[in-house]
Amino acid sequence: MKRITYAGETVLTSDEVATALVELTAALAKRGLAEAVVIPIVTASGRLDRSAELVVGMGNDVLAVPDDQEGEEPDFSAEAKTLRDHIGSVTPNRSKAVPVERAEPGSSFNDFDLELGDVGGLKPL
């Protein structure tokens, strides 16, 4: 299990949820976004039916560290899948990208030989 540190508090969750949460936070932050999410947690008394609500993404730091909690890790795989699915919804789909047309070598389309000359008093190296 992993302990999530957020806004000065810590909560305990599964490795799978912690990893997905960190990845979602990074994906949102990369796009300048933030969103509210709910993650399943294990309480100090061992209850598995609790959750934590947090805002992740731009401007929110999330730290996930291993915890030496005794006992079997809870099965929060459905919740982890929800987080991973959300990562996919905020990450651009490269398969939908428009292919770039390639010009034949020597054509004027790809002739990037620029003459810089004297630009604003600066001389090219």
pLDDT tens digit sequence for 13-56:
999 999 999 999 999 999 999 999 999 999 988 889 999 999 99
- pLDDT tens across 58-83, in order? 988 999 999 988 788 999 999 999 99
66: left (phi over 0), alpha (psi -120 to 50) or beta: beta
**What is the rounded average pLDDT of the residues 2-13?**
93
Answer yes or no: are the C-beta atoms of 90 and 28 closer than 8 Å: yes
Task: Tell me what pLDDT residue 97 has.
Answer: 45
Task: Scan for tokens 């795989």, then name that residue.
Answer: 77
With a CB cutoff of 8 Å and minimum separation 6, the contacts of 106 are none
Q: How many Å apart are CA 123 and CA 101, to the nearest integer?
A: 34
Q: Is the pLDDT of residue 2 over 50?
A: yes
